[in-house]
Each structure stands twice: as C-alpha cells, then as structure tokens.
Copies of this chain bind each other. A is one copy, B any other.
Amino acid sequence: MREGIQSYINRNKSTIENKIKHYISRLEIPERLKSSMAYSLNAGGKRLRPVLMVASFEAYNESYEKALTSAAALEMIHTYSLIHDDLPAMDDDDYRRGKLTNHKQFDEATAILAGDALLTYSFEIISNDPLLSNSQKVHIISHLAKCSGPAGMVGGQIMDMKAEKQKVSIEELENIHALKTGELLRFAIHTGAYLGEASAEELVYLDEFAHYLGLVFQVQDDILDVIGDEKQLGKRIGSDEDNAKSTYPNLLGLEGAKEKKGLYVQKAKDALIQAKADQSYLMDLVDFFSNRDQ
C-alpha cells in the first residue's frame, strides 16, 4: 500500500533533520554562534523545501541520499532568510512558530552573524558533498546562489518591503512572490530532479510545475491570513490595515482567491503529467500545499 502524504512528509522531515544536525554538530566554532545557528534550524520548521527536493528526486530515481546534503543546505538558506527577516530593522518579529525569534533569544548582532554563517556554510557543505561530482556541485551552487541572491530571494525581499507600504497590482504581487518564495521552491524541485537524472525536457516542465506550486503556496498563505484573522481576532475582512496590504483576498476577494488557487493547482498538476512525474509524491504535495491549514 502507498504511504500517505503526511507519513511521507514526516519520515523525510526526520531524515533531513538528522542530516542538518550532523552538519551543525561537526562545526568547531564559538559556542554562542553554534547555539544560535542550531536554535533557528531546530525551531520546528515544516521542511517543505527539502521534502520537495527529495520527492522530486524520487519521481525519477531511487535512493535519494544523493540529494540530502543539498536539501540540508537549502534549509539552511531558508532559515538564514527567516532570521534576517525577523530582525527589528526588517519585520521586527518577537516570535516565530511560538518560539522567540533568534535576535530575541540571543541578541541582534548574534542573529545577524548566525544568518551570515548559515548562508556561507550552505555553500561549504555542497562544495564538500562526497556523493556529487564536481560538475554537479558547480551546477547546484550556481543555481542556489542565483535563486537565493540579489536576482532571486534577496531581490524579492527588497521589493516586498516596498509593497508592504502600498497596494500593488496582481502582476506585481506575483512577481514579488516568485522571487521571494518561488525561487527556492524552484531550486528544490529542479535540484532533486536534476540529481535524479530527469531529462532536459522533464526539467523544463518541472520548472513550470514549480512556478504554479509557488503560486498555490502563496494564495493559500494569504487565504489562511484572512481565515486566521477572522477566527482568532474577530477582525472583519476589509479593515484599513488589511486593505493597505497587497494580498490575493484583498485584490480578488476571498472567493476569487480560492478560484485562482484552484486554477493554479490544475496547472501544476498538468505540468507534472508532462514531466512524467504524476505518479510521484509531488502530485500529493500539490494538494497538501493547497489544503494546508497552517
């Protein structure tokens, strides 16, 4: 019998977390820096990006050990971005997932340096991965740097700061999300399939899949914000504060946002069929992303 998606996620999450622990434990560095890096890495992330990478590998090949170091590196990059995003000068958040943010648990200077350290270390572990050829390492490092750097995630972050202060069009909103969160999802899906030896044609369709999966992810995020607000805060949709922020529900209404999401789910699944990956867990992950309640 086929394993359920939640069990699949949990099992791989655990494998990935062990790999991350391995890489942190072997660091011989000042204790405070190590604690700070480990604190945020172990702060209960969903590990969606590395799980996607593993599922993408398994859509084309067996024994995904080859993808684990890259998956750990990706989670380090994601974690560094959260640490820096939470800083007082950025989103100024005191809590994330119910725990103190890094700069509240330690201090701002330590949080900045822990982020820098995680970002740098992610490239180090890929460049020393004993399971990859030099050509594979270079391909992955180049792609990761592109997706997470100024023309990727960091660029999206700058644009997002601006968009938080003014209403933008749906096209601009999608462009920001494509950079800020979409690029790392794209890296996850591409790298898994690349290491799993998908064909060039399949990789092109997977790229399309990643694009729509990223949009599904973001629409659902915005929908959860609205539902969460209504349930938990008794706040009505359409308050002044909400209106100032560019979200799918604000731009399209709640029903419009749900329709949009359904469309993106279908497009993601169509791309998976073209990529000959529709029998894989990637298919289940689309529905999981679309229906998640947190």
Q: Which residues of A are in contact with B by a Cβ distance under 8 Å? A: 27-30, 32-34, 37, 80, 84, 87, 89-90, 103, 107-110, 112-113, 115-117, 119-121, 123-124, 127-128, 134-135, 137-138, 141-142, 145-146, 148-151, 154-155, 157-159, 161
New contact pairs (5) apart from A117-B154, A123-B123, A124-B145, CB-CB < 8 Å: A33-B154, A37-B150, A90-B112, A113-B157, A116-B116
For A30, list chain B residues within 8 Å (CB): 155, 158-159
Q: Do A84 and B116 touch (CB < 8 A)? A: yes
For A80, list chain B residues within 8 Å (CB): 116
Q: Do B112 and A84 touch (CB < 8 A)? A: yes
Shortest C-beta distance, A158 to chain B (Å), equals: 5
Whole-angstrom CA separation of A121 from B145 in the bound complex: 6
Whole-angstrom CA separation of A127 from B34 in the bound complex: 27
Given contacts A87-B112, A155-B33, contact A124 B142 (CB under 8 A): yes
Cross-interface CB contact of A119 among B33, B37, B116, B159, cutoff 8 Å:
B116
For A138, list chain B residues within 8 Å (CB): 127, 134, 137-138
Closest-by-CB residue of B relative to A141 is B127
Q: Do B116 and A90 touch (CB < 8 A)? A: no
For A37, list chain B residues within 8 Å (CB): 150
For A159, list chain B residues within 8 Å (CB): 30
Whole-angstrom CA separation of A28 from B121 in the bound complex: 26
Whole-angstrom CA separation of A150 from B80 in the bound complex: 13
